[in-house]
Structure 1
């Protein structure tokens, strides 16, 4: 029941000798997703031991180069690796035009489909769903249209209370119905409420990616209760004027967002190249939100299972 985020890039517009442009890889139950794809992402995937062919979908926040330039090389490489499964790419317009030009000039004979899905950056809407996961868009405040993403694990199937099976003499059909969430009628005319027969084995987990953006109370509200929040912290508070002018946040504003969202943990990144060491940004954020860390490229951050106790 893995729920793990691996940091592939943490720099802002310019890469540095120690930081690559933005990219995160998410593993949910051994299903892999890529969030943003700056230059060098395919090399970073390999360094992290993540096979690009396992990617289910790619989510692009906005069409600034430091968040998307790496995707075109990755698309080509996956073709060379023999990918046959379609790749879903979620990105704002006009990514469809950019993709069409790339395919025309560089990958006309690609052996798989790249399926573009529009991200409407002013909408909070369900973009992707499977048996274990939902992905929602989160409107952001940047210089161009941008959206963050909320990855939310679905509530797992109900488990049966073993003692209830014997106590009520449940047969196979009744057990199956109970696991579907139904109340169970017995032969004596009584009905047993489902909550007396089942329990949820663990709570669904969540991860939100909010970059690039000014502080947004709306975005914080839309990710309320998130377990792990990644929020850009491009600048220190002393450079807040520059942050505002460029459509970015300070470390203090990232912490403010985590506090407003009721997040359990905060990861900050997308650091300006002017800061050689992120420790000052972490200290600044921790003044408001103690559970703050600066991301480290190549490191993975697990969200542990929160088991519930049967009543």
Structure 2
């Protein structure tokens, strides 16, 4: 699993920082999460192929999380994209985007599908044979979701020495990897556990931005391998966090601790702060395994 931060700062873009957008590579899938202004420029800077993005997840309809979307959709058209593009986001996103495309006479040459969200409970919004994506209902000033990305358990791994010892033909290999026992010609049953190793442990990634401190998300993100949690303010501005329905670094760390996640990534910093290391210092008073997001920074997990 690889996470590339395209932007992780709150509110307005600056020459040195970008609003929220990130790319998650998981099981050979590439998902774009949020699409703040300047996202397509950041995609180019980080050498991420536009054609590899088929699903975009938008957390909410504040501009710093989706104002780059219509530009990216239009660029896909200029690049002669033919592959379907799926947009998962709050109810209203379809109307906003189609209205811009209509009045700019910029309808796409590829199929554009909108999957609008309105549920207030966690729900599955994407699933294939390798990955499942669920919403994480968040508490913000408007309807907002985070997203939980989970790998599915993969195939078992062949113990090739044992397989060859029993002279098992290759045509049975897939059945073995699917977990089946093997019956030899003499009637002997070889248990699957002797022929295989356990598959790699599936990894999960939880994205939570924007939200105020909210313990109701804990059962959804429990034991996640990586949690990205917004930390717009430090505790010295806790009153502003409460008023704007954002979180402090200490609150993000408390959520990570209560949910027993393995790693916490902080982001969505207010641009009022010149030193983001202060967020890590504050959060580590509660939770130790902390990384700081920053524009252009990548994280790899296995």
Give 2:295's aligned residue: 297
Partner of 1:242: 240
CA distance in 1, matches of 2:136, 2:103: 33
Q: Determine the C-alpha separation between the residues in 1 that align with 2:62 and 2:268.
A: 13
What is the rounded CA distance, in whole Å, between the counterparts of 1:113 and 1:166 in structure 2?
A: 48
Q: Name which of 81, 86, 99 aligns with 1:83.
A: 81
Match of 1:199 in 2: 197
CA distance in 2, matches of 1:194, 1:260: 38
Q: Distance in 2 between matches of 1:103 and 1:75?
A: 9
CA drift of 1:173 comes to 4.7
Q: CA deviation at 1:279?
A: 1.4
C-alpha displacement at 1:78, in angstroms? 1.1
Instruction: Please give the residue correspondences for 1:18-57 in structure 2 after superposition, counting only pairs within 5 Å.
Output: 18-57=16-55
2:143 is aligned with 1:153: no
**2:286 aligned partner:** 288
| Contact 1:121–1:145 (8 Å) recurs in 2 | no
Instruction: Tell me the distance in 1 between the aligned counterparts of 2:136 and 2:169.
Output: 45
**CA–CA distance in 2 between the matches of 1:172 and 1:52?**
38
Retained in 1: the 8 A contact 2:139–2:214? yes
Calculate the aligned-residue CA RMSD, in Å: 1.8
8 Å CA contact retained: 1:16, 1:273? no
Contact 1:121 1:138 in 2 (8 A): no
1:1-311, aligned counterparts within 5 Å? 3-187=1-185, 189=187, 191-303=189-301, 305=302
**Offset at 1:109?**
3.4
Query: How far is 1:118 from its partner?
Result: 1.9
TM-score, normalised relative to structure 1: 0.91
SS of 1:277's partner is coil
Structure 1, unaligned runs of 5 or more:
306-311
Distance 2:13 2:136 in 1: 26
Structure 2 gaps, min length 5:
none
Does the 8 Å contact 1:6/1:24 carry over to 2? yes
Give me the whole-angstrom Cα distance separating, in 2, the residues matched to 1:91 and 1:251. 26
Give per-residue Cα distances to partners, 1:131-165, cap 9 Å, x unaligned.
Answer: 33221111111111111011112222111222332
1:21·1:67 contact (CA, 8 Å) conserved in 2? yes
Distance in 2 of aligned mates of 1:215 and 1:111:
42
Shift in Å, 1:246: 1.0
**8 Å Cα contact 1:119-1:137 kept in structure 2:** no
CA contact (8 A) 1:136 1:150 kept: yes
Q: CA deviation at 1:227?
A: 1.7
User: Matches of 1:37 and 1:241 in 2, distance apart?
Assistant: 28
> 1:186 offset after TM fit, Å?
4.3
User: How far is the alpha carbon of 1:29 from its aligned partner?
Assistant: 4.2
Change beyond 3 A, Cα 1:44–1:121: farther
* In structure 2, distance between residues paired with 1:34 and 1:172: 39
| 8 Å Cα contact 2:74-2:106 kept in structure 1 | no
Taking structure 2 as the reference length, what is the TM-score of the superposition? 0.93
